[in-house]
Amino acid sequence: MKLVFEERGDRASRGAAGARALPSVRAVAAGSVGNLVEWYEFGVYGYLATILAERFFTPAGGGATEALVRTYASFALAFFFRPLGAALFGRLGDRVGRRPVLIGVIALMTATTALIGVLPTYATAGSLAPWLLTLLRAVQGLSAGGEFGGAVALLTEYAPPGRRGLYGAWQSFTVALGLLGGAGVAATTATVLTAQQVAAWGWRLPFLLALPLGAVALWLRVGLAETPEFREREGRGEREGRGGPEGQGNRDREGQAEREGDPVSMRTAGAVLLGAGRVMGWAAAGYTFLVVLPSYLQTSLHTDVRHALLATVPANLGFAAAILPAGLLSDRVGRRPVMLAGALLVTGLAVPLFNLLQNDGTSAAVRGAATCAAGAVVGLMAGPGPALLAEMFPARVRWTGLGLAYSLSNAVFSGCAGLLITEAVRRTGNVDVPAYYAAAACALSAVALMKDPFMKAS
């Protein structure tokens, strides 16, 4: 049984690609801008975690570290709603189209992010405050679970022949822009305002900035046409739940194949699990180096909030700089070799990197260069990742399949990163825990990326 439908590209669908117009700038922007909004918010939440812990969780009892653990637990909960969102919105998107569902997803994400900015704190609402924050995080998790799969499906289905890696990389590039924007806004807020002002009301401003970002995303998506590949499926009567005798015949054949032992659903489930394994290193290392780092520097290395936030900027710059070149390279040499190089580099370099950060004698310039390099290595995995996942599923289940693979991996290895790292450091006192976490996940991811006897080589 082959677990992967495709590795290097959807060659069958590319037969008619010459007749398609090249994707417009608007298509690329519309597909990727929602991801920017999503990861901007997730970045802001991670960067301001220590402040949110004080505002929403500390009055519940316990010290600052315990409050941070509770904050990260709320953070993790949102990630565990992602697979549900991927299944729900993915199924809708595979049935009714990419465009309308993506419009609804970005509207939901924008609204919930802005609402966090106006939530009452524990001092005002008592024990209701952390529950309201957690509820909004859960709704965000639902919308975020639908966003990635739909946006990647849109970008790769608009991509010209031989450019899926590059066009899919735009999705990861906007992850970098979102995290970088979140880091920049959080750092600017902490620099311009006093610590007392940030704690009192300044933390709200980064969340409220999601409103104009979301408005731009909605404008781009409302004016975008459906993807060429989905329109071709619709024209052939293949869209599920519609079409004439030909579409019904296709569905009948698929149902008969499953009843006779050709497990289409099992094949999809296998590809989902394999895809999750392939991107788990990207998920774990990305959150360790790009999101959890500020809180780690504050709680474990006792760095002040402004310097901790500023230290994250070089990591995100390196991440952003590497993504598009990595995607383009994957169009030439294959997705897996590029991602495998990134996973192996993190496995070998994570501990030395954190030792540099822990050393009081390390200069600011060296620390900045080290975190920038760490971000760039994560970019090697993030660049080809979207196209690799898209090519593992046929168009009729692409949004659902790749969305589930990505969201499952992120639920476990991104959403739990802050919670696991903070709690493990607290219990063991070992400040190398983040390095071990990222290295272990990337080592397992490297195994999943290596040649499998059941798959074609890419």
- The reported pLDDT for the residue numbered 246 is 34
Radius of gyration of the chain (CA): 22
Tokens for 18, please give them: 């010459």
Cα–Cα distance for residue pair 280/382, rounded to 1 Å = 11
- The reported pLDDT for the residue numbered 234 is 67
Write the DSSP assignment of 265-280 as a string of letters. HHHHHHHHHHHHHHHH
Tokens for 299, please give them: 């709680």
Cα–Cα distance for residue pair 204/222, rounded to 1 Å = 28
Mapped onto helix, strand or coil, the DSSP state of residue 101 is helix
Bin 126: left if φ > 0, else alpha if -120 < ψ < 50, else beta.
left
The DSSP letter of residue 244 is S
Length of the chain, please? Answer: 458
Cα 122 to chain centroid, rounded: 30
- The reported pLDDT for the residue numbered 280 is 94
- C-alpha distances (whole Å) from 188 to each of 36, 151, 198 are 19, 30, 11
Cα–Cα distance for residue pair 389/406, rounded to 1 Å = 8
The answer to whether 365 and 310 are in contact (CB under 8 A) is no
- Structural element, H or E, at residue 144: helix 128-158
SS3 string, 400-424, reads: HHHHHHHHHHHHHHCCCHHHHHHHH
Tokens for 34, please give them: 């929602």
Q: How many separate helices (H) and strands (E) can be counted in the chain?
A: 22, 0
Buried b (16+ CB within 10 A) or exposed e, 324-353: bbbbbbbbeebbbebbbbbbbbbbebbeeb
Q: How many CB atoms lie within 10 A of CB 374?
A: 28
Fold assignment, 24-238+249-449 = Growth Hormone; Chain: A; (1.20.1250)
- The reported pLDDT for the residue numbered 236 is 63
Sequence-ordered list of residues with C-beta below 8 angstroms from that of 239, at least 6 positions apart, any chain = 95, 96, 230, 233, 247
The answer to whether 17 and 164 are in contact (CB under 8 A) is no
The DSSP letter of residue 200 is I
Longest pairwise C-alpha distance within the chain: 73
Q: How many CB atoms lie within 10 A of CB 367?
A: 18
Query: Within the chain, which residues score under 70 in pLDDT?
Result: 1-24, 58-76, 234-264, 299, 305-306, 309, 451-458
Q: How many CB atoms lie within 10 A of CB 117?
A: 18
Mapped onto helix, strand or coil, the DSSP state of residue 299 is helix
- The reported pLDDT for the residue numbered 68 is 65
The answer to whether 407 and 350 are in contact (CB under 8 A) is no
- Structural element, H or E, at residue 344: helix 335-358
